[in-house]
Structure 1
Amino acid sequence: MKITGYELFLVEPRWLFLRIDTDEGIAGWGEPIVEGKARTVAQCVEEMFDYLIGQDPTRIEEHWQVLAKGGFYRGGAVLNSALAGIDQALWDIAGKALGVPVHQLLGGHVRDRVRIYGWVGGETLQELAESAAEQVAKGLTAVKMNPCGQLEPLDTPATINAMVARVAAVREAVGPECDVALDFHGRFSGAMSRRVLPLLEPLLPMFVEEPVLPEFTQDLGAVVRSTSIPIATGERLYSRWDFRSVLSDGIAVAQPDISHAGGISETRRIAAMAEAHDVLVAPHCPLGPIALAASLQLDLAVPNFLIQEQALGIGYGDSSGLLNYLLDPSPFTPEAGYIPRLTGPGLGITIDEDAVRAAAERGHSWRNPVWRNADGSLAAW
């Protein structure tokens, strides 16, 4: 079997899909994307296909090594995200060629279903509580929220108290049987983290995600030591080498993104590294159906998996679009807060190519907002 061609599809709300074709009629799908830089990643994918055309698609590890290490410049968000989407598609082809789901190729499933969490949001405490209650009513056993909006580098007591109140409102709404995870999006400095996290401890968050920006991961050790709350990070770390220091610093949850961190191949290796540090894995995935399917395949095979993020109702644009790109959305139907094991060949989903091609005609130009501090300087989004 040989790779004969590929197509890229820029689809709303902010995604990039890749189809890889073979001479045996088997096509594989991947999702290579850096949100806000879709066209940049697409160009990188095209350059990588100078090597891939004519190759055997089942030599996944060989192609990963060449694409990751064959150039003088390595790693980073763009290169590893382009590689990630290609890697997903190659695993999809391999599974389809053998008639088995990808997790079977990874050693078989170690669990029968994958726990998921849903996002909650709202401007007021009542809106937050209602949003959280709606997720629990759907059967979810965990929710995640962002307790803060834009923050000053060292914000006021009023802002800090408001954050704590927001988390308390959600905790009261869902009760003690539901987990509440917190995402700070890298908006805290190390000093703010050490000030705020102890105040949240009585509310028993499942974990606090990305309290500081990835360029300040050297501060994570101090943050970990300052609180009993489990610390999570990793959505902006792109390889096992990026994860080395944070695993040693004592994080509790690693969050590689299967569309950024080198695909299924590299994310599996990151999970194995995490297991050696007694660290759980909760893959980052506010993306489309291909990235979610690839994440679920990995979740089923990874012993130290914790919980899966999903964009079935995350609120980025039209969240229903994720299902609209599938001929059959039933593989993603949750049952009591879990997605049952995917059993179809490859990634376990069937893409609706007509819907994808129609969306690609429209395209998108999604960009994240640019925030400013009170003095006009740039603030972390």
Structure 2
Amino acid sequence: MKDKKKGNSRRNFLKNMGIGGLSMAGMSMPFIGDQVAYATQNVKRNSSPSDLKITDLRVTRVLRTPIIRIYTNQDIVGHGDVRDIGDYRYALMLKSRILGENPCNVEKLFKLISQFGHHGRQGGGVSGVETALWDLAGKAYGVPVYQLLGGKYRDKVRIYCDTTMSQDPQEYARRMQERVDAGYTSLKMDIGINLIEDVEGALVNAEFWKNQPGGLSGWNSIPGSYANTEHPFTRVQVTEKGIDKLMEYIDVMRSKIGYEIPMGTDHWGHFGVNEAIKLARAAEPYNLAYMEDLIPWTYTDQWRKITESTTTPTQTGEDIYMLNGGFKELIDKQAVNVIHPDPVGCGGLLETKKIGDYAQQHGIPMQLHHASSPVSFFGAVHAAAATENFLWLEHHFVDTPWYDDLVTGIEKPIVQDGYVPVPEKPGIGVELNEEVVKEHMDPEIGFFEPTPEWDESQSWDRLWS
């Protein structure tokens, strides 16, 4: 009798656990909707999940970021972002593929739409829809998204932040110290050859590009410009004098903030492998946390050459779409020391976790890029909480005073002493502050205006015959 009671107790314990500790990615049932239904048998529901249907998809745009809203036949909506500076139509063209479907079947719908994503900003539509689906699934079952991804490894997520650039090294270091004083425990600085383009004898072949349309700017849409010529093909070189001037910025920065704070660098410029190696070796005494995107991520073997030539850690990945789209080869070849997906472009929240899990199997940590709205920022917080080898998540809008006001439902400020508490509310855990969004939105797009022109698919999408 005593053994029987013990058995009943054990069964009741397992039954009452609900979804605690169960990973949606690891269960063997056919679709996420069935997995969620099984795992949340005893969880209080906020809707009727099995009857949930997608009825509409609309967009608005704030901070260069298209925000999507997926509507349902019940009183819940889901939100997600297309990656910053991405085209909102990347998401709208997916609408006809998901109308009438149950948003809780996240994996099923992801397989339907994932073929329409690609690298860079072109992964933003799929990633935004996937995030909004998780938001809906969490709301439908009354649980936070991290729980649907398998549970959390941490209660708060560590943040790294950018710092606005200055030509004056001392002023740049002062701005970095302000970040430390604000409680941030991990930083990143943009430092590149644009800082020394007017220093005589610092660069080779720079004058050629300065005299072309767009000059040495890394950000324009001019075909054939420096900004749109891949690094190995500019033939820009950095002289010893140029290297010394660039290292001065890092030296002054380290002298100001010390060595306890992890410090990464980004946007070095467009040049080839040899220059990257020279700069990485020169930076070794300063113990950088990483040097990011020294060359395009596509050149895996060249990345491995850089990584094996220096003790300065290397990092790339913000423009890669999906694990099998490029991360797997970088990881398999040990081509970089840190991988750097953006959940708003790499395929979404579950794909981010898959990338991190695969990297962990190969001894590589994961840092998350993010420069979009607070909606996907909190989506990234859930992915970070659910992935063991996570390091830091980027906060790109530290200097935008109304960034935190775009969402409600969480304690403010969003970042507290360099960390973000993981939301415990259903779904992503935040809702849009509609008045603030309307105040700062792109008026040409409007506020979630109807999009009936995107209701019908006009193509045959199957990839095989």
In the superposition, the TM-score normalised over structure 1's length comes to: 0.87
Match of 2:459 in 1: none
Distance 2:122 2:442 in 1: 26
Q: Distance in 2 between matches of 1:307 and 1:255?
A: 10
Between the aligned partners of 1:342 and 1:197, the Cα distance in structure 2 is 38
Give the Cα–Cα distance (whole angstroms) in 1 for the partners of residues 57 and 351 of structure 2: 22
Q: For residues 82-121 of structure 1, what are the structure 2 equivalents within 5 Å?
A: 82-120=125-163, 121=165
For 2:268 and 2:301, how far apart are their aligned partners in 1? 17
Q: 1:194 aligns with which of 277, 281, 285?
A: 277
Report whether the alignment pairs 1:3 with 2:49: no
Matched-pair contact (CA < 8 Å) for 1:61–1:265: no
SS in structure 1 at match of 2:283: helix
> Is the 1:331–1:349 Cα contact (8 Å) retained in structure 2?
no
For 2:310, the equivalent position in structure 1 comes to 227
1:147 corresponds to: 191
Q: Are the counterparts in 1 of residues 193 and 268 from structure 2 also a CA contact under 8 Å?
A: no
Distance 2:161 2:124 in 1: 24
Matched-pair contact (CA < 8 Å) for 1:186–1:210: no
- Quote how far apart the aligned CAs of 1:361 are: 5.0
**Structure 1, residues 294-333: CA drift from partner, whole Å, max 9, x if none?**
11001111000011111231x5xxx234223113562653
Distance of aligned partners of 1:141 and 1:185 in 2 relative to their CA distance in 1, 3 Å threshold:
same
Distance 1:16 1:142 in 2: 28
Contact kept in structure 2, 1:186 and 1:213, CA below 8 Å: no
One-letter amino acid of the structure 2 residue matched with residue 282 of structure 1: Q
Counterpart secondary structure, 2:392: coil
C-alpha contact 1:184 1:208 (8 A) present in aligned 2: no
CA offsets, 1:215-261, max 9 Å, x none?
43331000001111111110111111211221123212111111111
Per mean C-alpha deviation after superposition, the further-off stretch among 76-85 and 199-208 is: 76-85
List 4+ stretches of structure 1 deviating above 6 A.
none
**Matches of residues 55-70 of structure 1 in structure 2 within 5 Å?**
55-69=101-115
Counterpart of 2:432? 351
1:308-319 correspondence to structure 2 within 5 Å = 308-313=393-398, 319=400
Tell me, yes or no, if the aligned pair for 1:331 and 1:342 is still in contact at 8 Å: no
Larger Rg: 2
- What CA RMSD, in Å, does the superposition of the two structures yield over aligned residues? 1.9
1:257-268 to 2 correspondence within 5 Å? 257-268=342-353
CA contact (8 A) 1:185 1:212 kept: no
Contact 1:116 1:142 in 2 (8 A): yes
For 1:253, the equivalent position in structure 2 comes to 338
Q: Does 1:244 align with 2:328?
A: yes
Please report how far the alpha carbon of residue 149 of structure 1 lies from its aligned counterpart in structure 2 after TM superposition.
4.2
Write the deviation string for residues 88-125 of structure 1: whole angstroms up to 9, x where unpaired: 00000111112221001111111121111122232211
1:161-180 paired onto structure 2 within 5 Å:
161-180=244-263
Secondary structure of 1:307's aligned partner: strand
Deviation of 1:34 after TM superposition, in Å, equals: 5.0
How far apart, in 1, do the equivalents of 2:405 and 2:415 lie? Answer: 17
2:372 and 2:153 mapped to 1: Cα distance?
25
Number of equivalent positions: 352
- Secondary structure in 1 matching 2:187: strand
2:78 aligns to what?
A: 28
Contact 1:287–1:310 (Cα < 8 Å) also in 2: no
Whole-angstrom distance in 1 between the partners of 2:78 and 2:269:
34
Match of 1:299 among 373, 384, 397: 384
Q: Partners in 1 of 2:365 and 2:293 — Cα distance?
A: 15
Kept in 1: contact 2:191–2:268 (CA 8 A):
no
Amino acid at match of 1:221: R
Is the 8 Å Cα contact of residues 368 and 393 (structure 2) preserved in structure 1?
A: yes
The question of whether the paired residues in 2 share the 8 Å contact of 1:264 and 1:298 is answered with: yes
With 351-360 and 266-275 compared, the bigger mean Cα shift is at: 351-360
The equivalent residue for 1:373 is none
Q: How many Å separate the matches in 2 of 1:63 and 1:185?
A: 39
Give the 3 Å change call, closer, same or farther, for CA 129–358 of structure 1 in structure 2: closer
1:377 paired residue number: none
Could you state the TM-score of these two structures normalised by the residue count of structure 2?
A: 0.72
CA distance in 2, matches of 1:10, 1:272: 32
| Alignment CA distance shift 1:44-1:341 (3 Å) | closer
Deviations 1:259-291 (A, max 9, x none): 111111211211111111111111100221012
State the one-letter code of the partner of 2:188.
Answer: K
* Residue of structure 1 aligned with 2:180, choices 116, 129, 136: 136
Shift of 1:159: 2.1
Higher relative contact order (CA 8 A, sep 6+): 1
- Secondary structure, in 3 states, of the residue corresponding to 1:7? strand
SS of equivalent to 2:372:
coil
Q: Among all aligned residue pairs of Structure 1 and Structure 2, give the percentage whose two residues are the same amino acid.
A: 26
* Residue of structure 2 in register with 1:282 after alignment: 367
Structure 2, unaligned stretches of length 5 or more? Answer: 1-51, 198-205, 207-235, 446-465
SS of match in other structure, 2:264: strand
Aligned partners of 2:58 and 2:68 also within 8 Å: yes
* Contact 1:299–1:305 (Cα < 8 Å) also in 2: yes
Return the letter of the residue paired with 1:309: E
Q: Distance in 1 between matches of 2:140 and 2:178?
A: 41
The correspondence for 1:158, drawn from 241, 244, 256, is: 241
Task: Specify the code of the residue in structure 2 equivalent to 1:26.
Answer: I
Instruction: Give 5+ residue unaligned stretches, structure 1.
Output: 365-381
The letter of the residue matching 2:425 is G
Give the direction of change, closer, same or farther, for the CA distance of 1:248–1:185 in structure 2 (3 Å limit): farther
Change (3 A) 1:343 1:101: same
Structure 2 counterpart SS, 1:88: helix
Instruction: State the match for 1:44 in structure 2.
Output: 90
CA shift at 1:148, angstroms? 1.5
Deviation at 1:44, TM superposition (A): 2.8
Q: Deviations over 1:45-72 (max 9, x none)?
A: 2221111111100000000011114x7x
CA contact (8 A) 1:141 1:179 kept: yes
Q: Measure, in 2, the Cα distance between the counterparts of 1:224 and 1:67.
A: 35
Kept in 2, the 8 Å contact 1:18–1:86? The answer is yes
